[in-house]
A and B are shown apart, each in its own frame.
Chain A
Amino acid sequence: AIQMTQSPSSLSASVGDRVTITCRASQGIRNELGWYQQKPGKAPKFLIYGASNLQSGVPSRFSGSGSDTDFTLTISSLQPDDVATYYCLQDNNYPRTFGQGTKVEIK
C-alpha cells in the first residue's frame, strides 16, 4: 500500500498567517491526490482534487500544488473558521490511503 506522510502533525499560527502543510507519498502518484478538512465532531469536507483543483465553493485562500511524491496545501491567510484537521488522500492506487492528518490551531 502507498504510505502518505504529512507534516507537521500540528501547527499553531496567527490569524492572517500563511500556513503550509506537506504530504509525501511513498511512491509516485502523479497528481492523484486530494485534500480534506475535518472540524471536530464533523464529517470531513472535500477541498481539492488532482493536487491543485479547488472544489466549487472552497475559499480561494486554499490552494494545492505538487506532483509525483511531494504535495502541499497552503492557506494564504489563516482564518478562525480554518481551525480543523487536514488530510491528504491518494487516489492513484488501491487501497486508498490517507495521511495521518495535520491539526491547525489559532495562536
Chain B
Amino acid sequence: EVHLVESGGGLVQPGGSLRLSCAASGFTFGAYWMTWVRQAPGKGLEWVANIKQDESKKYYVDSVKGRFTISRDNAKNSLYLQMNSLRVEDTAVYFCARDSNYYDSGVYYDAFDIWGQGTMVTVSS
C-alpha cells in the first residue's frame, strides 16, 4: 500500500528551527517529484515547495524562500523540510505529497495524488 508519513512537527519559538521528515513506502520514491503543502489553523491549503527526483530542481513559495530548504534521500525513501527563522505565520499542519505526472492528449499535468496525514508546527513564544 502506498503510504506517506510525516514527522518532526512541534512547538518552537519565533526565530527557531525545525526539520520535518516524510517517510515514503509502497512506491518507487526516487521516480517522483515530491511536494510540501501547509494549512494554517482554520485556513486553506498553501503550496510550500517541491523537489525533482534528483534534487536538480527545487521551487519555493516566496514567503519561505531563504528560510526553508527542501531535500530528499532516495536511498532512505525520505523527504525533508528544513525550516529556519520560523515565524508565527508559519504555524500550520504540514503535509507531504507525491507530485505525479498525468498524461492526456499530448500534455502532462502535475497532481498531488498521494498525501500524508500531516504534522503540526506551532511557532509561538
Contact = CB atoms under 8 A, between A and B. Distances in A.
B3 to A, nearest CB: 12
Contacts, number: 69
Q: Tell me what chain B mostly uses at the interface: helix, strand, loop, or mixed.
A: strand
B62 A44 contact: no
Interface string A15-40: 00000000000000011101010100
A96 interface: yes
Contacts of A32: 109-110
Contacts of B61: 95
Contacts of B115: 43-46
B112 A36 contact: yes
Q: Tell me what chain A mostly uses at the interface: helix, strand, loop, or mixed.
A: loop
Contact of B62 (A1, A89, A100): A1
Nearest to A52: B104
Contact of B95 (A43, A87, A100): A43
Contacts of A101: 44-45
A44 B114 CA distance: 9
Contact of B60 (A30, A43, A95): A95
B27 interface: no
A35 to B, nearest CB: 10
A87 B45 contact: yes
Contacts of B60: 95
A49 interface: yes
Interface in B53-76: 59-62
Nearest to A35: B111
Interface in A90-107: 91, 94-101
Contacts of A76: none
B88 to A, nearest CB: 21
A94 B104 CA distance: 21
12 contacts: A30-B107, A34-B111, A38-B45, A44-B95, A49-B102, A49-B111, A53-B109, A55-B113, A87-B44, A89-B45, A95-B60, A96-B110
